[in-house]
Amino acid sequence: VSGMLDSSIVSAGIDYISLTLPNDHPSAATWWERCMKYLETIVQAGNELQPARRLGYDGVAIGGSFLGIREDSYLCTISGERAQQGFDAVYDRDCHISRLDVQTTVRVPGGAVDTARNARNAVVRSNMRLGAERQRNATLIEDLRGGATCYVGSMKSPQFARIYNKEAESGEERYKECWRYEILLRNELAGKMAE
């Protein structure tokens, strides 16, 4: 805990968004144009637009993002830092948000190598105070390169958390001594968070 007091937030915000809109919705054409315009900014950053098919949608993929159409609806997904940057461009209250990941990345001097293990142990202690129906599972995965991740909850549930060594995961110098705290929200919870 004492090491965490010296930590600083490196980034915080949206890390993934997936949303759909019926293609007969009055604002569907305008929304499609807004999404496409955002994807064009990714092209301008030096990425190549490729034809793609996902979840029965035909469309285009670029830099971890996708925009597609099928008979009944449009789908847009944006991942990573671009999700935060593109949120205002693609979000529409009338869309169904099927998934929204929010994250905070924290730099801890010394790297706090036990962060994932400490998170799992915190879940164990919390479960001791909770009834069986409210308890959560926590899975700790560590590798020999210093990577560690604690998964909290079930990936199939409406909410799921993970805490991981961002430096080990990304290999990027800008994430030296950083840990990422991420929550994946689905459907109703995702929609409420997006609002």
DSSP codes of every residue in 41-102: HHHHTT---EEEEETTEEEEEETTEEEEE-SSEEEEEEETHHHHHHHHHH--TTSEEEEEEE
What is the arithmetic mean of pLDDT over 13-23?
96
pLDDT band at 5 (very low <50, low <70, confident <90, very high): low
Q: pLDDT by residue (tens digit) across 98-125?
A: 999 999 999 988 767 888 898 999 999 9
Distance in angstroms (rounded) separating the CA atoms of residues 183 and 158: 10
**Nearest alpha carbon to residue 179 among 10, 58, 2, 47:** 10
Q: pLDDT by residue (tens digit) across 179-195?
A: 999 999 999 999 999 99
For helices 28-44 and 81-90, what crossing angle results, to 10°?
Answer: 150
At residue 109, the pLDDT reads 81
Q: pLDDT by residue (tens digit) across 39-70?
A: 999 999 899 999 999 999 999 999 899 999 99
At residue 189, the pLDDT reads 96
